[in-house]
Amino acid sequence: MPGSGDTHTRLDAVSRRILTQTCMNDLRAPLGEAHALPNAAYTDPEFLELENARLFAPGWVLAGFGGCIPDAGDGQPVEIAGVPLILVRGRDGQVRGFQNVCPHRGSRLLSEPCAGKSLLTCPYHSWAFDTEGMLRNRPHFFGPEQHQAIKDDSGPNLIPVRTQMWHDLIFVNMSGDAPALDDFLAPVTDRMDGYDMTALRYAGSTSFEVEANWKFAVENYIEPYHVFSLHPRLLSYAPMSVRQPSKIDGHCFYNEYTVPTMEEGRGEGLPHWPGMPEAWQRRGMWFHLFPTLSVEVYADQFTVFHIIPTGPDTTREELHFYLIGDAATSEHYANARQQVFDTWHDLNLEDMDVLKRLQAGRRAPGYNGGSFSPFWDEAPVAFSRLVGEALVVDD
């Protein structure tokens, strides 16, 4: 979604101001000499604007979950790349995305989720759109009691946004020209070959309002170095000795380990993926698809981390849990299911303080982007590099 010429020029200037040649040289240096992104990349509101326009808008971004809008006429407002959107399930069962703006005078159309609507009606002058985004009624449009009912699709209609699903996950591509969603997901789907995703059912969610830039949430997620220091329970069943630095495959960061014994909350007490080989029972895998989507796979679950930038120094982190078959909803598994939710909730709470500290630390002007462990830190530096390369302006 290109901005105006002025915006383009202004964002070029932001990029040049923050991603200087020195900064890019530091980012591109070998790990032992590299520095990651500078402080302003985590604190400057204009840098988030640059990210919205040139990182989030051109790619695929997770926008929502089919289970939140299960029936025809269900809709949900969301915001992606700083743009208000609506996700709507149509009469044909398809989920579609639109910009959340009425084409008449520009009112926001939907403020709250809605259910079972045959028409989406703008609260300002009651122009009404069907679930495919087509304008259908304009009351009093030609004068008092001179209503207009519209049968064709001549509009003005809602502005569609490219939207596609992978199982229950709804993705949008604001620019409309990203490579195929399958290509974006391939590093995960290739490695999940053999896991029957159709067995998954939505079981619940939890979320955190994080007082830190979204990149800190990701960098923390993709480095297992801090586990020994912050996560005693995690360490007790997957010690540092079974952990490896994260691997990198293009825009995908991933890791895999096999735990010595299974524990409640991960792999124990709930049904496992159907047909799963014995060797996978104690396996944990996680993936981060640049920039903001992470998923974790254990014998009994598929957990989605949805990282949503809400400001230069605030982030919403949502966790959505999918379990196998009736484990997601049946009373029989209520305790084991709660154990999954509690495990994830407690684990993430353990990270909140350091995320705040990372944000606060970046107000110290002497920090140069860091120096790194040659064993553990390739992933966070590579992540910084992906951000820098996506946003740098080549002269």
Q: Is 105 in the site for ligand FES (CB under 6 A)?
A: yes
- DSSP H helices in 60-110: none
For residue 122, the partner it binds in Fe ion, ligand FES, none, with Cβ less than 5 to 8 A by kind, is: ligand FES
d(CA 139, CA 122): 11
Q: Is 104 in the site for ligand FES (CB under 6 A)?
A: yes
Q: Is 129 in the site for ligand FES (CB under 6 A)?
A: no
Q: Is 243 in the site for ligand FES (CB under 6 A)?
A: no
In angstroms, what is the minimal distance from the CB of 185 to Fe ion? 24
What sign results for the dihedral spanned by CA atoms 57, 165, 326, 267?
A: negative
Beta carbon nearer to ligand FES, 136 or 215: 136
Subset of residues 326 to 355 that bind Fe ion, contact rule: CB under 5 A: 351
Beta carbon nearer to ligand FES, 42 or 127: 127
Q: From the list 122, 170, 307, 308, which residue makes contact with ligand FES (rule: CB under 6 A)?
A: 122
Provide the mask over 238-277, with x wherever binding to Fe ion is found by CB under 5 A and - wherever it is not. ----------------------------------------
What sign results for the dihedral spanned by CA atoms 133, 58, 55, 18?
A: negative
d(CA 55, CA 391): 7
In angstroms, what is the minimal distance from the CB of 122 to ligand FES? 3
DSSP string, 309-371: EEETTEEEEEEEEEEEGGGGT-GGGHHHHHHHHHHHHHHHHHHHHHHHHHHHHTT-TT--S--
Look at residue 240 and give its three-state secondary structure: helix
Count of residues engaged in binding ligand FES, rule: CB under 6 A: 8
- DSSP H helices in 53-139: none
Q: Is the separation of the CB atoms in 148 and 154 below 8 Å? A: no
Q: Is 287 in the site for ligand FES (CB under 6 A)?
A: no
d(CA 302, CA 300): 7
In angstroms, what is the minimal distance from the CB of 124 to ligand FES? 4
Beta carbon nearer to Fe ion, 8 or 357: 357
Beta carbon nearer to Fe ion, 99 or 294: 294
Q: From the list 56, 98, 127, 214, which residue makes contact with ligand FES (rule: CB under 6 A)?
A: 127
Alpha-carbon radius of gyration of the chain: 23
Q: Is 124 in the site for ligand FES (CB under 6 A)?
A: yes
Query: Per CB under 6 A, which region of 15-23, 121-129, 314-322, 340-348 contacts ligand FES?
Result: 121-129
Beta carbon nearer to ligand FES, 131 or 384: 131
What sign results for the dihedral spanned by CA atoms 363, 367, 368, 369?
A: negative
Single out the residue of 325, 206, 336 nearest to residue 270, CA to CA.
Answer: 336
Beta carbon nearer to ligand FES, 124 or 228: 124
Beta carbon nearer to ligand FES, 127 or 237: 127
Give the amino acid at 109. L
Classify residue 172 as left (phi > 0), alpha (psi -120 to 50) or beta. beta
Q: Is 107 in the site for ligand FES (CB under 6 A)?
A: yes
For residue 351, the partner it binds in ligand FES, Fe ion, none, with Cβ less than 5 to 8 A by kind, is: Fe ion
Q: Which residue has the tokens 């159709």?
A: 198
In angstroms, what is the minimal distance from the CB of 81 to Fe ion? 26
d(CA 337, CA 116): 30
Cis peptide before 160 (omega within 30 of 0): no
For residue 125, the partner it binds in Fe ion, ligand FES, none, with Cβ less than 5 to 8 A by kind, is: ligand FES
**What are the residues binding ligand FES (CB under 6 A)?**
102, 104-105, 107, 122, 124-125, 127
**What are the residues binding Fe ion (CB under 5 A)?**
351
